Amino acid sequence: MDTTRPCPLCARPRTAADAAGLEWSSQHEPDGTVTWICPTCTRAQLWRIEALLRVASPTAPAAAVPLRAAA
């Protein structure tokens, strides 16, 4: 697993020293991939969880389906 990729949410680079520390958090995606989130984005994700909002993902959400017009 490559632990030196940049943060997928803000593109902050992740160094080898960062990979050895505990500041970055892992995010496990529905497809089984693991991405590493920088400390700033981790705090933002925690805020979203506490606010009962959906967390951000490095993959784009599904396209919205337009509603049909009312009859």
**pLDDT score for 60:** 47
**pLDDT score for 62:** 46
Q: Give the pTM.
A: 0.63
- CA-wise closest residue to 37 among 1, 2, 5: 5
Cα–Cα distance for residue pair 64/50, rounded to 1 Å = 25
Question: One digit per residue, pLDDT tens: the chain, 71 residues?
Answer: 566 788 888 889 988 888 777 888 888 878 888 888 888 888 888 888 888 877 776 654 444 555 566 66
CA 46-49-55 angle, to 5 degrees, is: 90
Name the 3-class secondary structure at 35. Answer: strand
Cα–Cα distance for residue pair 4/62, rounded to 1 Å = 28
For the chain, what are the domain ranges? 1-30
Give yes or no for a contact between 45 and 53, defined as CB atoms under 8 angstroms apart: no
